[in-house]
Amino acid sequence: MSFLSKFALDGQEMNVLDYEIMFDQDSDISDKPSSDPRGGKIRLVVELTRSTMLYEWMISSSQTKNGRIIFYKRDALSKLREVEFRHGYCLNYRERFSADSDKPLRVQILISAREIVINSIPFTKNWALRT
């Protein structure tokens, strides 16, 4: 099955080339969970646009953003999954270009968000919000 994905942030939409989200929890010797779930880091690779919004977000240690990643089925463009994040920080920013490749100019970002909602199911970290 083939998919199409878009990243929406501050009124702009970008094509998603790669996506990964990570959660985990500790376990005891019998592999039973022994801690609350943690994580919620989102790694995205998107096609680079003219906008410097992602770069500006990265170089600000206090700026948070809300965004969403939508996955569509290519056959009918029906929505398969939606991942929303709120109060997200950009922890890592990496641009990549290779003249030997047919891949577009792209940027990889790592987002750590206070709240992540996957298809209406929320995961919230116990963060004190900055004022």
Domain residue limits, the chain: 3-124
pTM of the model: 0.87
* CATH T-level topology, domain 3-124: Pnp Oxidase; Chain A (2.30.110)
Contact 45, 17 (CB under 8 A): yes
Q: 57 phi and psi, to 5 degrees?
A: -65, -45
Query: What pLDDT is attached to residue 129?
Result: 62
Query: What pLDDT is attached to residue 73?
Result: 86
Residue 2: is its pLDDT beyond 80? Answer: no
pLDDT digits (tens, 9 = 90+) for 44-94: 999 998 999 999 999 999 999 999 999 998 777 788 899 999 999 999 999
Residue 10: is its pLDDT beyond 90? Answer: yes
Which tokens hold the place of 52?
Answer: 């410097």
Residue 131: is its pLDDT beyond 60? Answer: no
Contact 114, 124 (CB under 8 A): yes
DSSP letter (8 states) at residue 55: H
Query: What pLDDT is attached to residue 98?
Result: 84
